[in-house]
Structure 1
Amino acid sequence: MSEKFRAYLIVSVGLACLFVTSGVGYYGFAVLNTPVGDEFEWSRGLIMWAFAFFFIVRGLVAPFIGRITDRFGSKKIIICGALTAAFGHFLLSQVQNIWHFVLLYGLVGVGMSGMAIIPVSSVISIWFDEDRGRALGIATTGVGLGGFVLSPVLAGFVIPGFGWRMAYIFLGLVVLALIPLVMIGIKEKPKNYSNDKEDDFKSPDFEKNDVRGVFSNLSFWMIVVAFFLTSMSNTGILQNHVDFLTTTGGFKLQVIGASLGGVGIASTFGKLGFGWLSDKIRAKYCTLLSFIFQAVSIIILLNASTLWMVWIYALLMGLGVGGWAPLSSVLISKNFGLTSYGGIYGIVSSALCIGTGIGPLIGGYMHDLTSSYYQAFLFLLVLYAIAIPAILITTLKN
């Protein structure tokens, strides 16, 4: 097997990993939380605790996942993560009360952290140098494709035909199916690999060749702040936009479900586009454009009165959200090298996951308090006024 073929095989396996973690974890929850909540009569704010705990746990373990990925390689970490996540989904099929539901989503979060963007981007960054942004863009299309494929399968076939408990068993089997692909497809490093050339790309004020070196780096912390705030905002919107548009906008559920699919499709093009663009211009300007797309889409959503406005919102939000995975990875790998990439990116991933967990919780509880999403969505929109300057003042060179 040639080195080039192996490299793109790894990209394909990475795409499959992100397809599963996104479709099963993120979009799976978006589809399943309504039938589960209806059966047990849980409020929106209450059931969002499970989603929040899922991502907060992912965020807390992300730095650890990054460090052990640097030490043991991506293949072993992904396999262990898949076994853990599958076991958690099998247990979710037997849930009886809210604390079972919340704690088991925490277990799934541990597993998903081990099979998501940290180990995937780590091994792809090792195999690609000049076309790294494009390779990461291709792999991260799995995030949008996972939602595009699995959401309608769950909502249109599995849940109506077999119920939500069998849906969790189905998702557990989907996760397990990933393991043979990882065992066959992933090789940790190409022959004669050396990361010495990565030193040429490092940020000028990054002195230490390990995770500790970023703690005094202002640009690094601006990246963390920017992605924390935007993940909080866009996820708070996406996990509540269906309820907002059906209750406030008066749209039919079938129409809004299609728009959610539009977000997934657009995010796929966003990942490819921003991945390609980050090989051509500075990644921080690509990130700025991604943030602007998201902010404008929220303004459109708050004023959506016609179906075409809903679709413009969905497409802009999808394109903007699509940039986070390739751009955050390129920003770190090109400016801080690959020797400790897993540990450094683990901190960024931690911020992303914690923000992702908090956002929907804010939206759900502000809705319960005010009987409206309007104030919550305005608050989430304002976060971009902090995130955009934060990414602009970084002094990264790539």
Structure 2
Amino acid sequence: MHPAWWVAAVSFLVLIGAAGFRAAPGVLIDPLHDHFGWSRGSISFAVSVNLVLYGLTAPFAAALMDRYGVRRVVTGALLLISAGGGLTVFMNSQWQLVLCWGVLVGLGSGSMALAFGASIAGRWFVARRGLVTGVLTAGGAAGNLVFLPLVALLAEGPGWRAASLTVSFAALAVIPLVLWVLRDRPEDLGLVPYGAGPDYRPPPPPPPGAARRALAILRTAARTPVFWLLAGTFAICGASTNGLIGTHFVSGAHDHGMAVPVAASLLAVIGVFDLIGTIFSGWLTDRYDPRRLLAVYYALRGVSLLFLPALFAEAVHPPMLFFIVFYGLDWVATVPPTIALCREHFGDDAAVVFGWVLASHQLGAAAVSLAAGMIRDATGSYDLAWTSAGVLCALAALMVMVIRAAPERPPVASATPAAPPAGG
């Protein structure tokens, strides 16, 4: 077996942990409120800092991985998460919560976000790159499924301190595996990426100054219309998933008489089908035009959101189950084709560019999460939020169709003829 598959397996495990660690603070809002008497708003502020840093750290982390190596950055990120989770057991003030769960865990989990998966797929794979991207993206959904129920049980049983320490020790436990298996590039083992042809030539070393490089790549990418189209559509993706359904679906269903545990279980089902849909989307991305795939994904998502207000009821019925299954399949199916378009238009800078596109995803999620809550307060219903998001998704479908195919590039990095393979 090519070592690329072992690297992908460990990266999948790391991404599972990153997603679970990032999402864990949301489970601790009520326990911390009961223990310290802090308002839910002030506790939620720490979660908001976590979400924003999770998105904004990604492009800089991708540049740091290019400069200092994947293994060092991931190890440092896991240490940050372990410190953030462990130090909370000693806190007695709200600013300490913001520092630990907001800043430390946000920076750590953001350093292992989807840009990390894009880097691994781009460095270690030529063949099956879309499929691997889909599998690694699915790790984010699996993280929520694996960690959040455990963290919730610990918070209700032994207490929130036990839950925090579990996150801390889990992050530490992954580090030996990262140091043992993860390598920065196949050239470190004298190999070429999986599926590379005989004309492969290793990429040149990245220039110094990771942060400057991330900002320089942003400035260059921002001069192209395709960057703003990708960032805009991915912001709508975050708005219609994490920002709207992920945050407000349970409350919206409860407004129509559905029990909260039942609505939460439906969200868990979305997570299950998210795994299937994202992996299948990666497989499709290897075979079909990513622009057309994105147009279909966004258009169908928009139609489903327009129908959602009519589907709510006290009990679960077949049309609602159909919505849940469909929305799960479509949840982050947009990621593999978006990464493919970044790679097509921005070449070796694709991982960093996707990091900035991912930041727009998180900002879109944060904005619509707040807007949907304000709509609920003002109108007494989420109906306007669901339909507005459906219209936004239709707009995203039109935006991706405006993106033109990239012009042919001179052969670089993973497809440059001339030099012999590096090693056997």
Same fold (TM over 0.5): yes
Report if the CA contact (8 A) 1:7-1:127 is conserved: yes
- Match 1:219 to one of 226, 231, 234: 226
Using the size of structure 1 for normalisation, the TM-score is: 0.86
1:380 deviates by: 3.3
Q: Distance in 2 between matches of 1:382 and 1:51?
A: 28
Secondary structure of 1:307's aligned partner: coil
2:117 pairs with 1:108: no
Deviations 1:106-154 (A, max 9, x none): 3211111112222232022111112100111122221121122222223
1:97 deviates by: 4.9
Q: Distance in 2 between matches of 1:256 and 1:60?
A: 31
Q: Distance in 2 between matches of 1:7 and 1:275?
A: 17
Match of 1:163 in 2: 159
Q: Which amino acid aligns with 1:144?
A: A
Report if the CA contact (8 A) 1:82-1:114 is conserved: no
Question: What's the C-alpha RMSD, in Å, of the aligned pairs?
Answer: 2.7
Match of 1:64 in 2: 60
1:377 deviates by: 3.5
Deviations 1:275-299 (A, max 9, x none): 0000010112222232234323433
- Match 1:333 to one of 332, 343, 350: 343
Q: How is 1:96-245 mapped onto 2 (pairs within 5 angstroms)?
A: 96-104=92-100, 105-155=102-152, 157-190=153-186, 191-192=191-192, 194=201, 212-237=219-244, 238-245=246-253
Q: Which amino acid aligns with 2:287?
A: K
Q: Distance in 2 between matches of 1:36 and 1:243?
A: 21
Match of 2:296 in 1: 289
Cα 1:211–1:360 change in 2 (3 A) is: closer
- Match 2:391 to one of 344, 361, 382: 382
2:5 pairs with 1:8: yes
Cα 1:214–1:222 change in 2 (3 A) is: same
**Identity across the alignment (%):** 26
Q: Distance in 1 between matches of 2:48 and 2:286?
A: 34
**Structure 1 spans left out of the alignment, 5+ residues:** 197-208
Bigger Cα displacement from structure 2, 168-177 vs 380-389? 380-389
Q: Which has the larger radius of gyration?
A: 2
Q: Which amino acid aligns with 2:351?
A: G
Q: Distance in 1 between matches of 2:28 and 2:300?
A: 28
1:314 deviates by: 2.2
**Structure 2 spans left out of the alignment, 5+ residues:** 193-199, 204-215, 408-424
Q: Distance in 2 between matches of 1:369 and 1:296?
A: 25
Q: Which amino acid aligns with 2:253?
A: L
Report if the CA contact (8 A) 1:87-1:172 is conserved: yes
2:276 pairs with 1:274: no
Q: Which amino acid aligns with 1:239?
A: T
Q: Distance in 2 between matches of 1:310 and 1:21?
A: 30
Using the size of structure 2 for normalisation, the TM-score is: 0.81
1:184 deviates by: 1.6
1:371 deviates by: 4.6
Report if the CA contact (8 A) 2:58-2:355 is conserved: yes
Q: Tell me the matched-pair count.
A: 380
Match of 2:49 in 1: 53
1:344 deviates by: 1.8
2:319 pairs with 1:322: no
